[in-house]
Amino acid sequence: MFKKFTNGCVRVVNRWLPDPFLFAIILTIVVFIAAMAGTQQGPLELIWSWGGKGDVKDGFWSLLSFAMQMALVLVLGSAMASANVCKRALGAIASLAHNKRSAILVTTFVSTICCWLNWGFGLIAGALLAREVAKRVRDVDYPLLIASAYSGFVIWHAGLSGSIPLQIGAIGGTEILGVNYYAPTSATIFHPMNLLMVGVILVLMPFVNYAMHPDKDHAILVDPALLVDEKEREYKVETPADKIEHSRILWFITLVLGFAYIVYYFAQKGFNLDLNIVNMIFLFLGILLHGDLRKYVDAITDAASGAAGILLQFPFYAGIMGLMVASNADGVSLASIIAHFFTNVSNNITFPLLTFLSAGIINFFVPSGGGQWAVQAPIVMPAATDMSIEYGRAAMAIAWGDQWTNMIQPFWALPALGIAGLSARNVMGYLVIVTIFTGVVACGGFLLWGMFF
């Protein structure tokens, strides 16, 4: 029965799930029609709002800065994971796996921690770790092993590189509909309830994943051809230009400048993280671990292709935000209509729970934390103000919903699947179970958050 359920989910997803960019187009059309119906505005008025009314601060181009930040999170994390030092460390960790059970437990546990530290790093590190484990444990089900590596991504938005808590935790907060909203990371990432939910998933999910391991007759073993490592790039230092590119002096000076600023930043600001300082930390850690500026440039080049989806889709998310906040002569917008609905059907305890569930649904259409925030923040944050709900709890409800259904939205799994040599249909059945498990944990967590904190 269990296997039939997972196989059925795989068939449905592969039949009906289009490319994430098409989701952005579909959601644009849905929001456009809903805005016309809800605010009684004409199509030309809404098109003007969608495009930004000729101002880069509104509509289609309003998220350029944020899109760059999000692209760097992925690229810098991926480049860091590709450093030989990180690869050797992953090999050492993989040596802890001696059988099927330890293979799944180690892969899930480590990838979850890596994703909490940095989602771009965790995505790549988890897939590379799974490959190393597969070399040592040949009887483990390979699709489940890769699904276990990707399952750690389900807590990324509750971690140190979560775009929503870092944006709302930035100095001065973030402006939404002309209002500044601020919640320090102590009220989001480091809130006891957020850490408790992460801890429960970190401890229990490895065992949930192992419980799904098929029997010997149905296990899909790895194709040895998939485990052949790419030949490491060789460098020849012959010309003056080559010597400059591989100069240890320039490498050292670059590191001194970067880490001096990072230390001074925390001395001046305290331990207050935002996207910029997180990206700077991973930038200079990557340079340090690669040990060579030329090697790091090549690592960034290799990682940059993974950011294509962000660069393409973010303008459409920004356009959707423009449609959501476009108001008529009476000041009524689609965002305000939905915000009032949420206020009317929920209370202080249930509002974040309903926000979490709705964010999980929206994530199917907007498979990006930044895009999710752009679409949903104009709805949730004003409603949180009306209901006197802490901004940190409201923001984390969106963040948890965004990361939750990433398990059954294969957009972010593509880098890991590319490394593994698999397709979404190979892992999706297992990830449905992960989605159900983490959904139960999050629902319970947000109810407790409202009741006891």
Q: Count H helices, E strands: the chain?
A: 21, 2
* End-to-end Cα separation, the chain, in angstroms: 40
Q: What share of the chain is helix, strand, coil (3-state, %, to 5)?
A: 75, 0, 25
DSSP annotation of 44 reads H
The C-alpha atoms of residue 197 and residue 155 are separated, in whole angstroms, by: 9
Query: ∠ CA 338-339-342 to the nearest 5 degrees?
Result: 85
Q: Does residue 74 surpass a pLDDT of 70?
A: yes
Nearest to 130 by CA among 110, 115, 101: 110
Annotate 312-368 with DSSP letters as a single string: HHHHHHHHHHHHHH-B-TTS-BHHHHHHHHHHHH--TTHHHHHHHHHHHHHHHH--S
List residues bridging with 181 in a β-sheet.
174
Q: If you average pLDDT over residues 397-424, what whole number do you get?
A: 81
- SS3 for 181-237 is ECCCHHHCCCCHHHHHHHHHHHHHHHHHHHHCCCCCCCCCCCCHHHHCCCCCCCCCC
Alpha carbon 45 to its chain centroid, in Å, reads: 33
**Which string of b and e fits 233-254 if b means at least 16 CB within 10 Å?**
eeeeeeeeeeeebbbeeebeeb
The C-alpha atoms of residue 30 and residue 53 are separated, in whole angstroms, by: 20
> For residue 81, what pLDDT band results from cuts at 50, 70 and 90?
confident
Nearest to 193 by CA among 399, 24, 415, 20: 399
The C-alpha atoms of residue 153 and residue 157 are separated, in whole angstroms, by: 8
Annotate 138-196 with DSSP letters as a single string: TTS-HHHHHHHHHHGGGGGGGSTT-HHHHHHTSTT-EEETTEEE---GGGTTT-HHHHH
List residues bridging with 179 in a β-sheet.
176
Collect all residues with Cβ–Cβ distance below 8 Å to 297 and sequence separation of at least 6.
Answer: 245
Express each pLDDT in 358-387 by its tens digit.
Answer: 888 888 766 678 777 877 888 889 889 988
| Listed range (39-53, 146-160, 173-187, 394-408) with the worst mean pLDDT | 173-187
Does residue 108 contact residue 130 with C-beta atoms inside 8 Å? no
Does residue 215 contact residue 140 with C-beta atoms inside 8 Å? no
Q: Does residue 414 surpass a pLDDT of 80?
A: no
Does residue 206 contact residue 105 with C-beta atoms inside 8 Å? yes
Q: Does residue 2 surpass a pLDDT of 90?
A: no
Express each pLDDT in 162-199 by its tens digit.
Answer: 989 988 998 778 888 778 899 999 999 999 999 999 99
- Quickly count: other Cβ atoms within 10 Å of residue 184's Cβ: 21
Q: Does residue 42 surpass a pLDDT of 70?
A: yes
